[in-house]
Amino acid sequence: MTSLTISQVRGREILDSRGNPTVEVQITLSDGAMGRALVPSGASKGQHEALELRDGDPNRYLGKGTLKAVRNVNETLANLVKGKSFRNVQELDTLMLEADGTSQKSKLGANAILGVSLAYVNAVAISQKRPLYLVLNEMMGVPAAEMQLPIPLMNILNGGVHANNGLEIQEFMIVPHGFSAFSEALRAGCEIFHHLKEMLHEKHFSTAVGDEGGFAPALESNEQALELICEAVRIAGYQLKTQVAVALDVASSSFYLADAKRYSLRHRGEDSIDSNGLIDFYQGLCDKFPIVSIEDGLDEDDWAGWKVLTDKLGGQCQLVGDDLFVTQVARVRRGIQEKIANAVLIKVNQVGTLKETFETMALCRENKYRAVTSHRSGETEDVTIAHLAVGSGCGQIKTGSASRSERLAKYNELLRIEEWARENGKPLRFAKVF
């Protein structure tokens, strides 16, 4: 792709949206083009994710410092890649993966390796004076005609580990899918968000927000959260189901009782329920509300339960594996072979390189599994995932609510992409997934 060499690599410790340290990397190419990338961090993490290297020093940032990862960027990785040219990011990532030599990047840290990977593609885009989504599209080998603007899965009510309000379900999302342009879908989402805020005020609920910008009121039940959302959609003047649907990120591993192999749902008046009981709960919600997507409906290692869930609801609902798959080819391949789930959440820091992210997304495409590009709860102002969603043509993006600037940065970048493509005679269609 380019004969330019990497002339400088610099890593530094910065802060994410929760005020915790993370890694930033900037790469300068031999023509002076400089690309920068900021690495996100999750709160609801799958145990099979690539290793996020932290310092562990309790006297500094409560043990969450990233100076070790930064040192690996500035010393080991910088010495490895400086003066070299790469045809694409896959070649760069292969070199770094070989240097690390571990399955989960435990030697150098996925946050260090990913920072270099992301900064490199940003530098290439700047060098070529082209939008990043076009560079990623070519590196992935996806036909240009398949690029599209993604449907936002907008998180407007928070629960689980993203809030302290007692709701088990982690994210209640609206899906503004029935529109002709991304900008129209985003406007609808924002209007619904603000109508929901007014409703919560009127009902004397808190409008404090969780990690991803959704409101975090103390509600009586998960059903009440869905009822409020549907009411906000109607008040905003949009049609439920045909224009705006609902999605859930259950994050069920957070309330899974591993020893008993059961799930704790406090509002049901039971100590716990098994997988079948939880699946029946989802079926009831789908019968009552216009739910088009359920993410992490069962625990990351409850493969048998996932099979039952897929058999029962897979024909009517998108079933997304996040903690189940952690963006890694081996786990996605098992899901495909066993016919478990029908969609994969794509988080670049779960796997740790763009090369492996591309491979996972390609596997999804080949097997007609949907892919949903996603942020993390500990985010930054980095907008690379907006370009990944467009360049891959995956059709969906999760990047939080209509508040908190680290979330809005991605939405605003998608608006810029929509405008740039139209003005340059290459308009992008808005995805039709649901």
Q: Where are the beta strands (DSSP E) in 72-114?
A: none
Choose among 352, 349, 348: nearest CA to 361: 348
Please indicate whether residue 212 is annotated as part of the active site. yes
Return d(Cα 50, Cα 142) in angstroms, integer.
26
Q: Per the residue annotation, which of 191, 212, 359, 406 is the catalytic one?
A: 212
Torsion angle (degrees, nearest 10) of CA 344, 108, 26, 117: -40
Return d(Cα 25, Cα 243) in angstroms, integer.
40
Kind and range of the H or E element at 13? strand 6-15
Please indicate whether residue 184 is annotated as part of the active site. no
Q: Per the residue annotation, which of 45, 197, 347, 398 is the catalytic one?
A: 347
C-beta neighbour count of 192 within 10 angstroms: 24
Q: Which two tokens stand for residue 220?
A: 């009586």
Residue carrying structure tokens 């009411």 = 231
Torsion angle (degrees, nearest 10) of CA 194, 200, 202, 207: -80
Query: Which residues pair with residue 156 across a beta bridge?
Result: none
Counting beta carbons within 10 angstroms of the beta carbon of residue 122, is it exposed (0 to 12), middle (13 to 18) or buried (19 or more)? buried
Q: Which two tokens stand for residue 131?
A: 């939008």
Catalytic residue set: 212, 347
